[in-house]
Amino acid sequence: MEIVMAFVCGFLFMSAIYLILSRSLLRIIIGTGLLSHGAHLLILTMGGFGGENPPVLADGVTEYVDPLPQALILTAIVISFGVTAFFLVLAYRSYHELKTDDMTLMKGSEEID
């Protein structure tokens, strides 16, 4: 299963980068969303899917799945959420101020070094 998931993660990354290279600001943010999904799944995959049970102590169970990647992903989810929310508002504000969401039009002016 891990082998298959490696391909799935690669696919997610590929789609994310494709979106990030686009012109529309909203597409870029969607791309970062896909990128974080890909990264989270990658961490989980690399931890391995072995272990029959969730990492919650229960009677008579000895085989738990690795809890450490899950803790890392939980932290990562929250952080990526914070960043995504910030970016969205930033996109909203910049559209408000600049009247465009086209990345090709958002260039620094030539005069400013």
Partner 1 sequence: MLLQVVCLFIPLIAAIFMPFLFKKIRNIHTGWFVLFVPLFLAIYYATFVPSISKGETAVVQFDWIPSLGISFVSYIDGLSLLFSLLISGIGALVVLYSIFYLNRKKEQLHNFYIYLLIFMSAMLGVVQSDNMITLYLFWELTSISSFLLIGYWYNRDKSRFGALKSMMITVAGGMMMLGGFVLLSLMGGTFSIRSIIEQAPLFATNDTFVIALVLILLGAFTKSAQFPFYIWLPDAMEAPTPVSAYLHSATMVKAGIYLVARFTPVFALSEVWIWLVAGIGLLTLFWGSFFAVKQTDLKGILAFSTVSQLGLIMSLLGVGAIAYHVNDAADTVFKYASFAAIFHLINHATFKGSLFMIAGIVDHETGTRDIRKLGGLMSIMPVSFTVALIGSFSMAGLPPFNGFLSKEMFLTAMLSVTEFDLFNFSTWAPLFPIIAWVASVFTFVYSFYFVFKTFTGKLQENELPTKPHEAPIGMLISPVILASLVVTIFFIPNLVTDTFVKPAVMAIQPFLYSSPEDVHIHVSAWHGFSPELWMTLGIIVVGLLLFVTLSKWQKYYNTLPEQFTLNRLYDFTVNELLGSWMTRFSGLYMTGSIRNYLGYMFTAIPIIVIATLFIKNAFVVSFEGASPIHLYQIILIFVLVIGTITTVYARSRITSIIALGAVGYTVSLFFVIFNAPDLALTQLVIETISVALFLLAFYHLPKFQKVEERTRFKFGRVFISVGVGVMVTLVALSAHSQKLVTSIAEYYKETVYSLAGGGNIVNVILVDYRGFDTLFEIAVLAIAGIAIYGMIKLRMSRKEKNHESK
Site for partner 1 in 33-72 (CB under 8 A): 33-34, 37-38, 40-42, 44-58, 64-68, 70-71
Structure tokens of 104? Answer: 């090709």
The two tokens of residue 92 are: 């909203």
Contacting partner 1 within 71-90 (CB under 8 A)? 71, 73-75, 77-79, 81-86, 88-90
Contact between 98 and partner 1 by CB under 8 A: the answer reads no
Secondary structure (DSSP) of 74-90:
HHHHHHHHHHHHHHHHH
DSSP state for residue 112 in the 8-state scheme: -
Smallest distance from partner 1 to CB 77, Å: 5
